[in-house]
Amino acid sequence: RIADSLAEFEQAFPQAEAEALAAFGDGGLYMEKVIGKARHIEVQVLADGSDAIHCYERECSLQRRRQKVWEEAPSRALSDRLREDLCASAVALAKAVKYSGAGTVEYLYDDEADRFYFIEMNTRIQVEHPVTEAITGIDLVAEMLRIAGGEKLRIRQGDVSVKGHAIEVRLNAEDPAKEFAPFPGQVAELRIPGGPGVRFDSMLYQGYQVPPFYDSLLAKLIVHAETREAAIVRLIRALNELKIGGLKTTKPLFLALAADPAVRAGDVHTRWLEGWLIENAATLAG
C-alpha cells in the first residue's frame, strides 16, 4: 500500500497488518520510501571470493509488469560522480560477503533526489549481460566459468573501460496488439539481422515449434555503436531486417519505442512503459 499522508498511513497500516497475519501468520510490517518515477539501474560485478571488480552499470527502466523488456548500457541518467559511487557500492557489497562469480547488484535511482537505493543482488548471469559485454569487451560467461573452476580474478579494475553504447531488446512470442497474449506456433521463416555492432542470441531455426508451456522469450537482439543515438538507429535497422515468420512477436513494440521522443531522450522510469502502452494501444494494433 502507498500512503501519501499520515491519515492514509494510519488507515492502511492495520489493514495491511491484518492481511499479513491472515496470509502468513505474521503481522509484522516494514516501511520504505516510495519513489514515484524510479529508474532501475544495476551494476555488473565479477568476484573470486576475495577480490571484486565492477563492469559498470546497465539501465533497465523500460519494464512491463515489472519485467524488463529493453536494457542498455551505460545509463545516460548518471553523473560521473554518482556512477563512481554506485559502482563502488556494488564492489563493496561483493567483497563484504566474499562473493564468487558473476553477479548483479540492483538499485532504484531517484532522479529528483539524485540518490540510489539498494534492491537486491542476483547471484547469477543476467539475461541482459550482453550489453555489458558489448561496451567493455569482457566475456562475462567465460570469466564466470574460470572463477567457478578455481581461478582467481584475472581482470583488474583499471583494465575495465566503457566504449560506446549498447541496447538489448527481448523478442517474445507475444502479440502486442492483444495485450501481449502468448503466441506459440511454428517458425515459418527466419531472417536474422547482421552487420557491424549487431548480435542476435537465440535458439531459433526455421521450422522450430514454439511451445506454449514455457517463458515466451525467443531471442535477444543486441546492438552496439559509438553513441546512444547511433545505437538506436542501428536497432531500428536490425529490427527491420529481422523476420520471424509464422509468429506474432514483440518486434512492433520495439520499433515504436525506438521512434518515441521520450525513449530517444532517455526520459523514462519503471512505470513509464505501462502508461505508454495504454496511450499507444491503437498504434500497436495497427
Question: Is 128 in a helix, a strand, or coil?
Answer: coil
pLDDT tens, 160-198?
Answer: 999 999 999 999 999 999 999 999 999 999 999 999 999
pLDDT (0 to 100) of residue 110? 95
Q: In this model, does residue 15 exceed pLDDT 70?
A: yes
Task: Rounding to the nearest 10 degrees, give the CA dihedral for residues 48, 138, 59, 97.
Answer: 0
Q: For the chain, give the longest Cα–Cα distance.
A: 60
Q: In this model, does residue 286 exceed pLDDT 80?
A: no
pLDDT tens, 34-75?
Answer: 898 999 999 999 999 999 999 999 999 999 999 999 999 999
Could you give the domains of the chain? 37-163 (3.30.470.20), 165-286 (3.30.470.20)
pLDDT (0 to 100) of residue 285? 75
Q: Which residues pair with 216 in a beta bridge?
A: none
Q: In this model, does residue 224 exceed pLDDT 90?
A: yes
Q: In this model, does residue 31 exceed pLDDT 90?
A: no
Q: Which residues pair with 206 in a beta bridge?
A: none
pLDDT (0 to 100) of residue 21? 93
Q: Is 65 a catalytic residue?
A: no
- Helices 228-241 and 251-259 pack at an angle, to 10 degrees, of 150
Measure the CA–CA gap between 90 and 57, rounded to whole angstroms.
10
Q: Of the listed 65, 83, 115, 124, which one is catalytic?
A: 124
Please state the rounded mean pLDDT for residues 203-228: 96
pLDDT (0 to 100) of residue 16? 93
Q: How confident is the model at residue 24 (pLDDT cuts 50, 70, 90)?
A: very high
Q: In this model, does residue 94 exceed pLDDT 90?
A: yes
Measure the CA–CA gap between 127 and 268, rounded to whole angstroms.
21
Mean pLDDT of the chain: 96
The owner of cell 502508461 is: 275
pLDDT tens, 262-273?
Answer: 999 999 999 999
Most confidently modeled of 25-29, 172-176, 279-283?
Answer: 172-176
Q: How confident is the model at residue 1 (pLDDT cuts 50, 70, 90)?
A: confident
Is-contact 89 166, C-beta < 8 A? no
Q: How confident is the model at residue 30 (pLDDT cuts 50, 70, 90)?
A: confident
